Amino acid sequence: MGAVVTERWDGLVLGASLATLEGEAGYGAIGDGALAWRDGRIAWVGARADLPDDARQRAVEVVDAGGGWITPGLVDCHTHVVFAGDRAGEFEQRLQGASYEEIARHGGGIVSTVRATREASEDALLAQSLPRARALLADGAATLEIKSGYGLDYENERKMLRVARRIGDTLGIGVRTTFLGAHALPPEYAGRPDQYIDAVVEWLPRLHAEGLVDAVDAFCERIGFSHAQSRRVFEAAKALDLPVKLHADQLSDGGGAALVAEFGGLSADHVEYTSAEGVRAMAAAGTVAVLLPGAFHVLRETTLPPLDEFRAQGVPMAVATDCNPGTSPLLSLRQAMQLACTHFRLTPEEALRGTTVHAARALALADRGTLRVGQRADFVHWNIGQPAELCYWLGGPLARAVYAGGRKVS
């Protein structure tokens, strides 16, 4: 009789180096590694030499990776991939000297995307948004956060959140939805921002009751909403026990980072102008700093986030695409990593942790971001000789395969 197989595995991959990202520093590298999964969770990870003798018999499928590296599936923790139309014309205007604020104040910016998004049916909006999500997936993103914020009325915000859920179902990846009703002031509320916030606060429990909201966000800025108005949105979220995050201190220091930290927020995003006080508040609250180098690059910003203070205070730094039609038309999280290294001087290790460990934390997803037994079996097999190559190459296909929950999805 043959040996008794004590545990069945759905899959086993052999023959690649592993960047587990276990521990506080380093890649957690394992040369010539092996990774097994069962029921969508990692069941074994380590050096191939340490595998049980019956490892091949245990696995329903055995994959010979043939070299390269395996990392955790990337997590894009700040995107706006659901929208209709584009804003290529505004890109040209900025090249001719117009500022982001000037364009917004003359009817462009977010409000122009609102018009196109409102006009699109749910199916049309899904059809336009899926290719963007597929592009992010093809370059390693196994989890996406997707915000609303281009509907700015109840039915169209609901439509956006429904499309976000459908993207996850269609692609077989993790999607976290964020209600961003307080993104911009719609034309019908011109001059009445407080009344619009009244409406946003009224919509939130209805959308949450449908299971469409995982977190709540706001745009706290001169061209967005005030500190007091953002606070009202957060109070409404707190009443529903929903976590919050914030577009904070992108164009000026409006105290946004400190505000979201006061509410124990998951993340403060952009944070170019965040003060030392704001950094200390984030550190005390455990709030993640989400760096968005795509918008920094496209807007040709020059004020860097307080990176040294984040490091000194132990604030985790995530990296995301901010994929959106106006200020960051970026369809690769790996390219965002490269920009973070180039513009912000992150190390390749910091950038990879920023798109795995820390990005997962920014979404309150404790079950992904590392290669560890019990974690969700999200991983990427890369055609690289060392992890730093993920930030070295400018474009080009590096992902051989992307797995989400133990299923090959790209």
Q: Which residues participate in the annotated binding site for 4-imidazolone-5-propanoate?
A: 87, 150, 183, 250, 327
Beta bridge partners of 248: 220, 270
Separation CA 201–CA 23 (nearest Å): 41
> Long-range contact list for 307-313, CB < 8 A, 24+ apart?
307/344, 307/345, 307/346, 309/276, 309/279, 310/279, 310/282, 313/279, 313/280, 313/282, 313/283
Burial tier of 224 (Cβ tally within 10 Å: 0-12, 13-18, 19+): buried
Q: Which of these, 287, 317, 296, lies nearest to 251 by C-alpha position?
A: 296
Question: 368 to each of 109, 252, 383, how far by Cα in Å?
Answer: 34, 33, 22
Binding residues: 78, 80, 87, 150, 183, 247, 250, 322, 324, 326-327
Binding residues for Fe(3+): 78, 80, 247, 322
Binding residues for N-formimidoyl-L-glutamate: 150, 324, 326
Separation CA 32–CA 18 (nearest Å): 8
- Six-digit token string for 287: 């709030």
Separation CA 99–CA 134 (nearest Å): 31
- Six-digit token string for 181: 């009703």
Question: 306 to each of 45, 82, 262, 296, how far by Cα in Å?
Answer: 36, 30, 19, 14
- Six-digit token string for 183: 């993104």
Separation CA 231–CA 234 (nearest Å): 5
- Six-digit token string for 326: 């106006």
Question: Quick check: 356 and 369 in contact, CB under 8 A?
Answer: yes
Beta bridge partners of 317: 289
Binding residues for Zn(2+): 78, 80, 247, 322
Q: Name the residue with tokens 């997803």.
A: 365
Q: Name the residue with tokens 């911009």.
A: 184
